[in-house]
Structure 1
């Protein structure tokens, strides 16, 4: 139909105008970004916005496409999670339960001693070999079934006999697999929270294989900056002090550990392995100052606060250690009962270190150590070169398509060119509106869309040509051209859109960037071909009323 009701015309042009307005900030990317950063800083600090805030009007849309690592520069890391560390922690946490279960049976089983063993096993020696079956039965009652489809009929711990007096406890294979999955999910979430709290835009954090994590942080000045932020486990514990020593080789004893002091070089602390309170019970941590010294204030949850309060009440005059990543950062003597579940961490910190430590503690402790396998820093100059190359490729493709359409279809080709310009604006506007990340493959998707966008118009114009050859009038030929080409346009674009969805679902990184721009480009191409170009042709025809049409 060559007649459009007023509401439909208004709606089509409003959509086009909105797309153009949303895309505009990307034409002045640097100054809009500076203006946005200045306004965010003013909101966070409560200060007046700086001069940069005036670089872009507040009444204008200011959302930008996020630039990916290959366009903006930044840090690329591939890290491996040391999953075996978690097995040792699980067994360490299981030891108090083992001890409390066997103690009531001491008259029958005799002495109970923990033996030195590999990190992935717990070895307990009893004094009476004749009571081995009793001890095994009691410990096997502690195990629980594994809650998974593959773990039907298995338990989380395997309790077995080794020799006449030793009992060996290990994690079952199914429980190890479940633990690995939980550890990877927790590590991904904590890394993401740490990077997000640092204010980085649109980082890419994805699992690679069974025990690796890919981290890409656009805008980071170096890979080491990211390693310093995420590479620390930030495991905070409060442990009772057994004694101080200057001998790093001194045996700590079963159930104890020996850690170096940060503030006292050459001094080591022997601590009880089991902490009184751990960082997992922290609910907040903030950098602050006390007596003009940078410190970190912290606050526990209800359970942690009660445990901390009870311990300090019962151990006035005794030292206790604040341990961060197996280093004693402070070992104060408890002067009085500390209630309320709050305190401070002091040390030889500067303000930047207290800020970083507070971020790490708020985000939580990594469940296992991260080992960096690969690191790269991509400079902003390389990103600028990529942007310029992508811009040049897009402009060449755009110009070539515009020229071809005009030479091939004349006036109708000009109409298609107008729709193509609006199509690109709609793509940029949608990418900005949803906060998508534009990568170099994403630019390739836009270039491909520019070529594909005229396909629908080519189908329509060729159908109109055929109808004109059959001696149909101009109005009827145009109507039939759009009606008969519609199904072909929809079929072709739906199949390509399905491919884009599949790429997004199973792809990662650059592949997803390509699929996003391709999928959005397909939607805008169909809209501009079916509605915008048709509206322009109808408007032209209703004004000119030509007796003949030449395509």
Structure 2
């Protein structure tokens, strides 16, 4: 039967359109200003925490629309941004550093849509904004590490030359004073060290002392390397968050700008990006008893660290292995079902650990967790000064020889183990960083430009519809309906794709697909009119019109899709956004402009005696 679809085709089209409409619906509900609260490393967020938060907000007379505890995180929704900012200040004062409090924008999607995983389309920074962080690198820590390396080099060199030191003391500007027994010894040391390397400068300080300092070139190189390596590590951490089209770039000599478009879990982002955490594996000095620790009788090569119960443990100052060698870290319960982290080392780390475990079989070793947190003291700019915090999270006897693979046990809870694994997997920062600015940012192109962009899109759509209605009359109405459905399906499909982000170039891609969809209908309708002029019957003209134009439309759309795929493969950022929306738009237009309009035309005209078409 000519111009008549079987029932299954209609059902398939209806299902496709309904799915597109349903997944596009969340975009109508918008977002609420919100605050998200997570526990800092291992701190549990419970019902008692939620009640405490709610009490603070009510006491401060801050209006909120909803407070919810889910998956160990509290989400508070507000009616406006003013209440959101007031609540953040109040909660920071009340909860302190035990919790991570971050600004958020929470989708106002109804529960029934959430139940089917229907989420609103993520918008880029140029449309919706997102979370903005400005972080500053603590370069003093980098230079302090370099100073320690210089001290070790000088001590080793002088020891090889049998030159004795009487005292070593750190001086200003990351220089170090080395004192000797007499002037003659000082002169010998000065002559040796002065030819040691171009990376250090050696100057006489007094009759029996010299000053050693890394050269300015070396200091600047260390700071630049720290910024570059931290930039790479932060990019890795952003990848852990799964953010689409992020911006991570340096600003000046010691700052990094991080823009995360469309991100939902800002508390998680702040925690992972801001954390400066690593591990050190230290052998325990068994010759130091608790009695000696209490009396302060500690050997020069040993220092005291504390575990989570504040129990002092004597460990050697020199780390057997540092976290720089960690390649991977995953959360996995141990044989007893207790939380643990499986560690994978690089080849160098594996060789070191194998040697350490072989030489210290059946001896105890401690795992020291090192992180930097904001302290109570403020710098000259009024920002909290970072303080180094160390805690022994695990002690165990080396029961056997092992290399690149081993487990860390003795952790409090699964959440602590998961968080530790993420921090270690993302990489230990070369230098501590501090988030000095955090905000939810508006569109980078400006609200006025965005309004104009949407107005242009709507204007183009209306112009296309008017043209089709005027020029093709009844068939133009069918094409306009299909065009509207096509736009809805594009939004629905993009909302379904994890990580897809709509940007201004993406909107340009959608506008282009509107033209492609209209062009497809123009080709079909002109072919139908041509067949009618050639004396074909109405039914034959419709059939030949769609059949004849299909190959042309398919060829044109395939070349467009191929071009978009190439753009996506070689492009970055906004170019990829344009490629994605163009590809999706072309694919959906094939459904609506060809199959969709044909279905409507078949319903209206198919298998009927028609003498004239409204075309």
Asked if the contact 2:369–2:391 (Cα under 8 Å) also holds between the matched residues in 1, the reply is yes
How much does 1:26 deviate?
Answer: 1.4
The 3 A distance-change label for structure 1 pair 31 and 206 is closer
The match for 2:581 among 513, 517, 540 is: 517
Matching residue of 2:59:
none
Matching residue of 1:227:
270
SS in 1 for 2:431: coil
- Alignment of 1:435 with 2:476, yes or no, is no
How much does 1:114 deviate?
Answer: 8.5
CA distance in 1, matches of 2:28, 2:332: 32
Matching residue of 2:573:
508
SS in 1 for 2:277: coil
The 3 A distance-change label for structure 1 pair 83 and 434 is farther
Matching residue of 1:544:
608
- TM-score between the two structures when normalised by the length of structure 2: 0.52
Cα deviation, 1:357-388, whole Å, max 9, x if unaligned, reads 56434544223333446421369xxxxxxx99
Relative to structure 2, which stretch is displaced further, 514-523 or 233-242? 233-242
Matching residue of 2:161:
106
Cα deviation, 1:37-80, whole Å, max 9, x if unaligned, reads xxx97xxxxxxxxxx9994799xx75656433778886332445
The 3 A distance-change label for structure 1 pair 439 and 82 is farther
- Alignment of 1:68 with 2:123, yes or no, is yes
- TM-score between the two structures when normalised by the length of structure 1: 0.57
The 3 A distance-change label for structure 1 pair 79 and 451 is farther
Relative to structure 2, which stretch is displaced further, 412-421 or 10-19? 10-19
CA distance in 2, matches of 1:329, 1:296: 21
The 3 A distance-change label for structure 1 pair 323 and 424 is closer
The 3 A distance-change label for structure 1 pair 314 and 490 is closer
Matching residue of 2:256:
212
Q: Is the strand fraction higher in 1 or 2?
A: 2
- Structure 2: 5+ residue runs without aligned partners? 30-69, 72-108, 179-185, 205-209, 289-299, 373-386, 401-405, 443-449
Q: Is the helix fraction higher in 1 or 2?
A: 1
The 3 A distance-change label for structure 1 pair 122 and 275 is farther
1:81-120 aligned at under 5 Å gives the runs 102=157, 106=161, 110=163
1:370-409 aligned at under 5 Å gives the runs 370-372=433-435, 374-377=437-440, 405-409=468-472
Asked if the contact 1:322–1:330 (Cα under 8 Å) also holds between the matched residues in 2, the reply is yes
How much does 1:354 deviate?
Answer: 7.6
How much does 1:233 deviate?
Answer: 0.8
The 3 A distance-change label for structure 1 pair 398 and 168 is closer
Matching residue of 1:327:
388
How much does 1:430 deviate?
Answer: 3.4
Matching residue of 1:153:
none
Matching residue of 1:187:
234
The match for 1:278 among 294, 318, 322 is: 322
CA distance in 2, matches of 1:319, 1:466: 85
Asked if the contact 1:64–1:435 (Cα under 8 Å) also holds between the matched residues in 2, the reply is no
CA distance in 2, matches of 1:285, 1:342: 10
How much does 1:481 deviate?
Answer: 9.1
Relative to structure 2, which stretch is displaced further, 358-367 or 532-541? 532-541
The 3 A distance-change label for structure 1 pair 54 and 77 is closer
Cα deviation, 1:467-504, whole Å, max 9, x if unaligned, reads 76677776469847985897699669957985896589
The 3 A distance-change label for structure 1 pair 66 and 11 is same
How much does 1:434 deviate?
Answer: 3.3
The 3 A distance-change label for structure 1 pair 238 and 63 is same
- Structure 1: 5+ residue runs without aligned partners? 33-39, 42-51, 140-157, 197-201, 244-254, 289-294, 380-386
Cα deviation, 1:166-215, whole Å, max 9, x if unaligned, reads 7967659999978765542222103432x35xxxxx46533335763423
The 3 A distance-change label for structure 1 pair 411 and 225 is same
CA distance in 2, matches of 1:342, 1:322: 14
